[in-house]
Amino acid sequence: MREVMTISGIDDKYIYLATITDEATCSGCALAGSCSIKGRDMRVRVKREDITKPVALGDTVIVELKYNVAILSLIVYGIPLAGFLVGVLIGYIFKWNDIVSLVTGLVFASCGFLISKIFDKKYEVKIIDVKKNDDNYLRNLAENGKIDSGVR
Closest CA to 60 of 138, 131, 142, 140: 131
pTM above 0.75, yes or no: no
Task: Identify the pLDDT of residue 145.
Answer: 61
| Of 130, 124, 144, residue with least CA distance to 4 | 130
Neighbours of 83 (CB within 10 A): 22
Q: Render pLDDT for 83-121 as a digit per residue (tens, 0 to 9).
A: 999 999 999 999 999 999 999 999 999 999 999 888 877
pLDDT of residue 87: 96
Residue ranges in the chain whose pLDDT is less than 70 = 21-42, 67, 133-152
Q: Report the pLDDT value the prediction gives residue 12, as an integer from 0 to 100.
A: 87
| pLDDT of amino acid 131 | 78
> Looking at residue 28, what is its pLDDT?
64
Residue 84 exposed, middle or buried by CB count within 10 Å (0-12, 13-18, 19+): buried
Are 124 and 103 in contact, with CB atoms under 8 Å apart? no
Give exposure, 13-41, as e/b (b: 16+ Cβ within 10 Å).
Answer: eebbbbbebeeeeeeeeeeeeeeebbeee
pLDDT at res. 150: 47
